[in-house]
Structures are given as C-alpha cells and as structure tokens.
C-alpha cells in the first residue's frame, strides 16, 4: 500500500487522506487556536472516494496521518459482467477486475478506454474517454 505520513495541519481542501482505512478527499480542515501552552487542533472533514460517505477526525496539528498516493492511469475495457468490468492497463498490460460506478454504467463499453485511479489497494474507474 503506497502512502506517506503527513502532519494534520498540512492537509488542504482537495488533498487525500486515509480515515478508517478508507481513502478520502479532504473537504475542510478547521484549525482551532491553541491555548497558552497547547497544540493546534485540526478537525478534518472528508468524503470517501469510493463510497462517497462523509467522515471526520480530530487530531492535534503535529499528529501524523496516512495520506494515500494516488496513481492515475488509463485502461481498456476487455469485458463486462454485470456491475464488474475487466480492465487491461495500457502501459503494463496487467488484467484486473473492478466495480463500475453507477454514473459510468451506460458509458462503459467493451473496447473503450477509461481513466482509473489506484488508491492504496483499491482500483476505481474515474472517467470514460
């Protein structure tokens, strides 16, 4: 699983974070002012990239939180079976299966190229070319 450790205070809107072992996109990072001798507190709100569920964590500013490294790739649809598509990576020619998101079910067809992201251990279709 490719990820790096980032301090909570450095997450910005649009960056990626792992919350409960789920890759998420940061929506807001509210920072509360520290007391006289206290640390900065960060309330990070994020939405799951795969399941679109809203998640929230609260951590001290210098706390290290895993941030997934997102690898954006192009693949070709080899076959479709129900809600699952078999894709072939256009650079490594690796074959794998992944779920077809609801918004792309009508657009994904055999032989078409799709954009997909490798996030942590998950491969997800993010667009159709």
Which parts of 4-124 fold into alpha helices (H)? Answer: none
Q: Give me the pLDDT at residue 1, please.
A: 54
Determine the Cα–Cα distance for residues 43 and 33; give it in Å rounded to an integer: 12
Question: Across the 129 residues of the chain, what is the mean pLDDT of every consecutive 10-residue run?
Answer: 87 93 93 82 93 92 92 94 93 93 88 90 86
Question: Where does a domain end: 24, 44, 68?
Answer: 68
Q: Are residues 84 and 55 in the same domain?
A: no
Residues 101 and 60 in one domain: no
Q: Dig out the tokens for 47 from the structure.
A: 């939405």
Helix or strand (DSSP H, E) at 113: strand 113-119
Number of domains in the chain: 2
Q: Are residues 80 and 98 in the same domain?
A: yes
Looking at residue 36, its pLDDT comes to 75
What is the CATH number for 36? 2.30.30.30
State which residues form the domain around 49.
Answer: 3-68
Residue position matching structure tokens 């990070």: 44
């Amino acid at each position: 699983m490719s990820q790096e450790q980032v301090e909570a205070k450095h997450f910005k809107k649009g960056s990626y974070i792992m919350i409960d072992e789920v890759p998420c996109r940061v929506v807001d990072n509210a920072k509360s002012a520290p007391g006289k001798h206290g640390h900065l507190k960060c309330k990070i709100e994020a939405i799951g990239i795969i399941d679109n569920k809203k998640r929230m964590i609260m951590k001290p500013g210098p706390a290290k939180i895993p941030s997934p490294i997102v690898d954006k790739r192009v693949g070709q649809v080899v076959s479709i079976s129900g809600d699952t598509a078999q894709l072939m990576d256009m650079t490594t020619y690796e074959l794998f299966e992944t779920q077809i998101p609801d918004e792309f079910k009508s657009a994904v067809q055999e032989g078409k190229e799709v954009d997909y992201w490798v996030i942590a251990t998950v491969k997800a279709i993010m667009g159709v070319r």
